[in-house]
């Protein structure tokens, strides 16, 4: 079971003997550790990590056609950020030649104002256990921390997203039937903006279902589907920093 950090709103004040309160700001703090996550405006509405997840789970529970689901939550930045992936093992799509995927829902939230509350669709590739990012905005919900959570809106978006998810799989099937071009490779590497060490590592990445690498693009034996999967496989399995991983996923989502 995930252990969520304690959090509450507090006043902003200064002074040793006589405390002066600042009405134009409030603090988001961990009352158990005394740490301050952020200083925010009075209109900021705190959304607890567990409430952000529960809102989505309640929406899922109202749609029994989703079937069973698995929840994986990561807490980092000393509790200031949360990333959750909900995977649906009962819903399987085959991209072709025994390459099945499950849809996933990704949830982000933060207390340090680094992220908004965000819900997106993604996918999980069963062959190599790596997450797949989806660029198409058919299921996307962002809530600024100045608004209340709206479970009904979340439920509508999830249902609509699941209905249109099959369209994304058809796109991926087309990717499996064409080769990666040099311009696509160059554009992807530029937009990912990897460090020198990351560039070396991603070029050593071997796609586990085919034994293909990025260099196989030179012989025109690397499909765009495999190119995409090498990128996602590297991010899923090789990037240790959770913040860096989420940032690279965001970049990959814009690329693909």
Q: What is the full per-residue pLDDT of the chain (256 aa) written as tens digits? A: 789 999 999 988 765 666 677 888 999 999 999 999 999 998 888 999 999 999 899 989 988 888 999 999 999 999 999 999 999 999 999 998 789 999 988 899 999 998 888 888 888 899 888 888 776 554 455 666 656 667 777 788 788 778 778 888 889 999 999 999 999 999 999 999 999 999 999 999 999 999 999 999 999 999 999 999 999 999 999 999 988 998 999 899 889 8
pTM over 0.85: no
Q: Where are the beta strands (DSSP E) in 88-191?
A: 93-94, 100-110, 117-125, 130-133, 140-143
Instruction: List 27's β-bridge partners, or say none.
Output: 10, 39
159: left (phi over 0), alpha (psi -120 to 50) or beta: alpha
Residue 41: φ, ψ to 5°: -80, 165
Residue 55 in contact with residue 119, Cβ under 8 Å? no
Q: Which two three-digit tokens encode residue 56?
A: 């989505």
């Amino acid at each position: 079971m995930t252990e969520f950090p304690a959090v509450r709103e507090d006043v902003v004040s200064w002074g040793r003997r006589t405390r002066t309160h600042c009405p134009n700001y409030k603090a988001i703090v961990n009352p158990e550790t005394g740490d301050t996550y952020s200083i925010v405006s009075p209109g900021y509405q705190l959304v607890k990590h567990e409430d952000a997840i529960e809102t989505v789970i309640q929406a899922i529970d109202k749609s029994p056609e989703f079937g069973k689901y698995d929840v994986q939550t990561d807490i980092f930045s000393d509790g200031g950020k949360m990333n959750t992936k909900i995977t649906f093992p009962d819903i399987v799509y085959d991209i072709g030649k025994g390459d099945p995927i499950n849809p996933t829902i990704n949830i982000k939230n933060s207390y340090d104002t680094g992220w908004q509350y965000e819900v997106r669709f993604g996918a999980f590739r069963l062959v190599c256990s790596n997450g797949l990012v989806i660029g198409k905005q058919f299921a996307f919900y962002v809530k600024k921390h100045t608004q209340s959570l709206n479970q009904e809106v979340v439920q509508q978006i999830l249902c609509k997203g699941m209905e249109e998810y099959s369209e994304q799989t058809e796109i991926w099937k087309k990717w499996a039937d064409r080769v990666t071009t040099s311009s696509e490779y160059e554009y992807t590497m530029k937009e990912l903006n990897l460090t020198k060490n990351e560039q070396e590592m991603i070029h050593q990445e071997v796609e586990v279902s085919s034994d293909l690498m990025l260099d196989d693009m030179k012989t025109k034996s690397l499909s765009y589907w495999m190119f995409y999967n090498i990128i996602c496989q590297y991010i899923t399995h090789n990037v240790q920093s959770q913040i860096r991983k989420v940032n690279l996923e965001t970049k990959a989502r814009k690329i693909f």
